[in-house]
Amino acid sequence: MVFNSIAFVVFLPIVVLLFYLLPHKWRWLMLLAASCVFYMWFVPKYILILLVTIVIDYAAGILMEHYADQPRKKKTFLIISIVSTLMVLMVFKYLNFITENLDQLCASLGMETHLMTHIILPIGLSFHTFQSMSYVIEVYRGHQKAERHFGYYSLYVMFFPQLVTGPIERPGNLLRQLHEKKEFRYENISKGMRLILFGFFVKMVVADHLGEYVDEVYGHLDEYNSWTVLCCMVFYSFQIYCDFFGYSTIALGSAKLMGFDISDNFKSPYLSKSIAEFWHRWHISLSTWFRDYVYIPLGGSRVKYGRWVFNILVVFVLSGIWHGAAWTFLLWGFAHGLLHVVEKTLRKALPTRGHAPLTLPGFGNALRVVKTFVLVTLFWVMFRATDFEHLKAIFVTAFTNFGGGEQMSVKPGVWIYLGLFILSDILLRNTRFDKWCDDKPLVLRWLIYAVLAFMVICCSSVCNFPFIYFQF
């Protein structure tokens, strides 16, 4: 089930109503059943894969706690859990990629093989796999008690607002809240509805309209000139941001309706002054996951320079591979890691100098923001390209065809939607839409709600694009 569907518009109010009508002791069961329905709306049989990882990690958590005084056994159960979970991810997400490349390698050596598989990737597998892994690692470290109630642990992994595209929750936040008795509060309903409405606007009005142009241009590069392709690159930067940010905002709102606070996943990333800051503001739950469970265990920054470079590149390459089983994703991750290393190295090597007398206040920061946005936009081409040939074609057309091809005509409304979103992103740089509305006059708040509702109902794109991060 997708958020931008009639099915979800019917599903969510029913779940929220049942949540508050049922006694606390039965709410977990209703939420678990609802989450199963939500997940099975896509491919019902794939819930069995999810069940396998849930059983393995649930048992591992209890066994690690039971053998807490026997480090070797405790570590063995951790390894079994992580390896088993990663094997599931490997088979369903990466086996097609591995066999395809092996076939190509053998063909280049004159051998004919037919290893290629055709396994369909379950929706959101990478997200709930990492959420399960964070639980067993936290139990192993002694930061989290093993959950003895199988139903509550299953709900922690399957909680429907963030099941498919995150945020990747830690047990210390979500699992604790699932046990708490939630009382009906108008404030939660109000904040939740604000977030859902804003999320619908960001996804259905901004992202989907931009997606129409991106798909058209990237699918017919030979028909358009360089200016159009460059514009399309910028459009894709905002499409993927609005698409993912819209989903995350709807997820936050859906959980908030029932009193649950899940993690913010974005904080105006395109206003970042460096690639490091960008990753502190973009897909925050994934960035902190890799920081806590990969980067710091490797030694983090408390090592010699060469090892630090290695640690950074490992984290970013893994992040790229996590996003997709393709060489373009690996290249995208490596490019981000390399830029992070270059920026930090230059910052340490170059002496800090005060502003020149004629420098306008904030002008230097504005240039850094523009620089970061331009580089991130160029890197998004690697993320969007279907393969290296497509990637090459995009860059060649973008920088060598200024005089030929057609100029894309963009409807004025699209510029208005994009402009409104950029303005909102600037206003919300250090806050969130529901919180930003709190201290605004009643008339202004309801005017904003009315405008957003009107735009969602009347200005949504006719193309109903699936959420981009569903494929991960």
Angle of helix 412-427 relative to helix 226-256, nearest 10 degrees?
50
Percent of the chain with pLDDT over 70: 97
Asked if 471 and 165 touch (Cβ cutoff 8 Å), the reply is no
pLDDT value at 296 more than 60: yes
Arithmetic mean of pLDDT, 241-263: 95
CA quadruple 76, 79, 82, 88: dihedral sign: negative
Alpha helices in 69-173 (DSSP H): 71-89, 95-108, 125-141, 150-158
> What tens digit of pLDDT does each residue of 196-246 get?
999 999 999 999 999 999 999 999 998 899 999 999 999 999 999 999 999
**How high is the pLDDT of residue 158?**
93
Asked if 8 and 196 touch (Cβ cutoff 8 Å), the reply is no
**How high is the pLDDT of residue 60?**
95
323 is catalytic: yes
pLDDT value at 361 more than 60: no
**How high is the pLDDT of residue 251?**
95
Arithmetic mean of pLDDT, 250-264: 95
Q: Report the amino acid identity of residue 335.
A: A
Beta-bridge mates of residue 224: 406
DSSP one-letter code for 385: -
More confident residue, 464 or 328: 328
- Backbone φ and ψ of 224, nearest 5°: -120, 155
pLDDT value at 359 more than 80: no
> What tens digit of pLDDT does each residue of 28-75 get?
999 999 999 999 988 888 889 889 899 999 999 999 999 989 999 999
Euclidean distance between CA atoms 327 and 330, whole angstroms: 5
pLDDT value at 355 more than 50: no
Q: Any idea which residue has 């920061």 for tokens?
A: 365
Which one is catalytic: 128, 209, 283, 323?
323
Burial of 230 (0-12, 13-18, 19+ CB in 10 A): middle
Pick from 105-119, 249-263, 442-456: least confident: 105-119
> What tens digit of pLDDT does each residue of 78-119 get?
999 999 999 988 888 888 888 888 888 888 888 877 776 777
Closest-CA residue to 298 (of 288, 308, 306): 308
> What tens digit of pLDDT does each residue of 365-414 get?
889 999 999 999 999 999 999 999 999 999 999 998 888 778 888 899 99
Structure-block tokens of residue 451: 């405008």
Confidence of residue 356 (pLDDT cuts 50, 70, 90): very low
Alpha helices in 201-359 (DSSP H): 208-219, 226-256, 275-281, 284-290, 305-323, 327-349
| Chain mean position to CA 138 | 22
